[in-house]
C-alpha cells in the first residue's frame, strides 16, 4: 500500500483504497469500488487490500479501520489525508465530487499542517476576490514559522462542488467568501473585502471561546 500512496503523491492524484474484509458475505462496497474505478480510473489511483492481512496491519491502524468488521472505502488526498470514508456504498455522484476536487484535498491537508488557514472562495480575477486574497496572504504571512496558508477556490468551477458543499457556500455568491480555520477548527467566514482587524476579531473570539 505504501508504494501506491507514494505514487499518488508523486502524480498529485488521490488514492481510493478499499480495505476488504473477506468472508463477511456479499461485498456491496467492493462493487461500488469497481464502479467508481471504471469511471474515474484516470483521475485517481485505486487499490484494494485485504484488511485482515498482517502486511496491512499498520495501514489499517493508521486509517482507523482495524477494528471494523466490514469493508471500508477511503478516499485519500495525494498526501494521504482522509477526504471521505465509507462502510456503505456511497452515491456515485458524491464520491465523484470528492475525487475531482483539488481544493478539497488542499484544504484537508492544510488544516492538519498549518496553524491558520484561509480558504478564499469566489471568482478569481475580480476586484473583490483579488483584494480578499491579498489580505489573506498578508495575514497568513504574519503567522510564525510559516504556519499560515491561503487556498483559493473558483466558486463557479463545477469540479469544486464538494468544497462549496463542505462550507455551505453557493456557486454564485455575489462577493467572495473567506473561510478561516485555526488549528484545524472553523473560526468563521468573512464576506467580501475584509481587514486584518476582522481576522483579529475571529481569532479573539476563538480564544475567548476556548478559555
Quick one: DSSP state of residue 68?
A: -
> Which of 48, 66, 100 is at the close of a domain?
100
Q: What is the mean pLDDT of residues 152-168?
A: 94
The 10s digit of each residue's pLDDT in 43-83 is 999 999 998 888 888 999 999 998 888 899 999 999 999 99
Q: How high does pLDDT run on average in the chain?
A: 92
Do residues 140 and 93 both lie within one domain?
no
Q: How far apart are CA 48 and CA 95, in angstroms?
A: 16
What pLDDT score does 102 carry? 93
What pLDDT score does 25 carry? 58
CATH number of the domain within which 28 lies: 3.40.30.10
> Which of 100, 128, 157 is at the close of a domain?
100
Q: Is the pLDDT of residue 36 over 90?
A: yes
Domain span at 6: 2-100
Do residues 89 and 171 both lie within one domain?
no
Do residues 127 and 68 both lie within one domain?
no
Upper half-sphere CA count for residue 39 (Cβ side, 13 Å): 13
pLDDT band with cut points at 50, 70 and 90 for residue 2: confident
Q: What is the pTM of this model?
A: 0.85
> Which of 71, 100, 129 is at the close of a domain?
100
Strands 14-20, 44-50: pairing kind? parallel
C-alpha distance from residue 50 to each of 8, 43, 60, 103 (Å): 20, 23, 10, 30
pLDDT band with cut points at 50, 70 and 90 for residue 26: low
What pLDDT score does 211 carry? 52
Cβ atoms of residues 80 and 73 within 8 Å: no
**3-state secondary structure at position 22:** coil
State residue 22 phi and psi, 5-degree precision: -60, 145
Amino acid at each position: 500500500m505504501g508504494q501506491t500512496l507514494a505514487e499518488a503523491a508523486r502524480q498529485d492524484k488521490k488514492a481510493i483504497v478499499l480495505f476488504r474484509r473477506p468472508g463477511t458475505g456479499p461485498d456491496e462496497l467492493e462493487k461500488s469500488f469497481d464502479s467508481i474505478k471504471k469511471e474515474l480510473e484516470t483521475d485517481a489511483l485505486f487499490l484494494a487490500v485485504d484488511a485482515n492481512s498482517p502486511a496491512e496491519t499498520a495501514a489499517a491502524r493508521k486509517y482507523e479501520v482495524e477494528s471494523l468488521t466490514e469493508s471500508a472505502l477511503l478516499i485519500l488526498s495525494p498526501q494521504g489525508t482522509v477526504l471521505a470514508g465509507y462502510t456503505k456504498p456511497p452515491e456515485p455522484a458524491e464520491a465523484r465530487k470528492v475525487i475531482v476536487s483539488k481544493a478539497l484535498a488542499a484544504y484537508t491537508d492544510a488544516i492538519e499542517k498549518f496553524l491558520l488557514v484561509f480558504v478564499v472562495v469566489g471568482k478569481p480575477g475580480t476586484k473583490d476576490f483579488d483584494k480578499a486574497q491579498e489580505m489573506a496572504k498578508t495575514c497568513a504571512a504574519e503567522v510564525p514559522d510559516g504556519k499560515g496558508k491561503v487556498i483559493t477556490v473558483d466558486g463557479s468551477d463545477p469540479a469544486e462542488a464538494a468544497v462549496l458543499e463542505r462550507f455551505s457556500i453557493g456557486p454564485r455568491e455575489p462577493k467572495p467568501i473567506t473561510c478561516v480555520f485555526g488549528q484545524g477548527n472553523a473560526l468563521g467566514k468573512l464576506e467580501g473585502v475584509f481587514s486584518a482587524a476582522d481576522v483579529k476579531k475571529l481569532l479573539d473570539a476563538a480564544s475567548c471561546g476556548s478559555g
